[in-house]
Structure 1
Amino acid sequence: MVDLNANGKVPVPPYVAIDIISPKLPQSFLEEDGVFEAILSFTVYDKSKLDCLIKANELREMFGDQLTEDELEKQDIVLVERMEIQLRSVAETNAYAYMAGFDCRLRLQESYVDEGTGEILDIELNKGEITNE
């Protein structure tokens, strides 16, 4: 699996490219609970259209099995939706790239934790000093 927008040499097919389509979709207007959703896109590249579709379907089915669900749960991730497989092939000048993929909607918990470093109680602008007590 490779990052779709990564720099570097493209692997020899078959391989999967992952892209973050929507990095943070808030679940409420307040966003105080730190829960949000993200949409990830998985695209399978292969040398034949049929192989590409088969591998994309296998990967999509893996997201529906109990082992994957258990692993996601350990990471506090909820699989909200597995979208249908789409053909994503595009015509190129010298070759044809066979691509098929699907998107997943995941519910995540914000990983940032306030370290409790204190609060700024006094700022003296004239002296240029900032104190943190």
Structure 2
Amino acid sequence: MSGLVLGFDYGQKRVGVASGQRLTGTATPLATVPNPQLDGWAQIDAVLAEWRPAQIVVGLPLAADGSDTTVSSAARRFAAALGERCGLPVALIDERLSSHEAEARLLADGRRHNAVRRTRDAVAAAVIVETWLAEQPH
């Protein structure tokens, strides 16, 4: 079985995508695509076909207290639809503060705010994948 994991940072307008490797526990931002309800499925299907992962991880947006947010149910529906489309296991993982972590990483790398906005979702997906990988037994 491949050690490749694809992670998704679901958003109402955009979805960040990242790849991760079980062996190294690291992840790399890949792309930001439109939300599937806004014609993003073709791009997501293309990423799945190109990378052929063994596992999918989707960030679950939760409130600071761990309760659902207005986007939580949409993220769960996206995860279920993704699993049905590709026939792979899909794990949901708490993504609290992943976007903030992504922005902090990008700004620390010296990126300007315009560049941060364009790549934040894909970097947040990488944070989600790295978090999931760190929680997996070795």
What TM-score, normalized to structure 1? 0.30
The structure carrying a bigger helix percent of its residues is: 2
The structure with higher relative contact order (CA 8 Å, sep 6+) is: 2
Larger Rg: 1
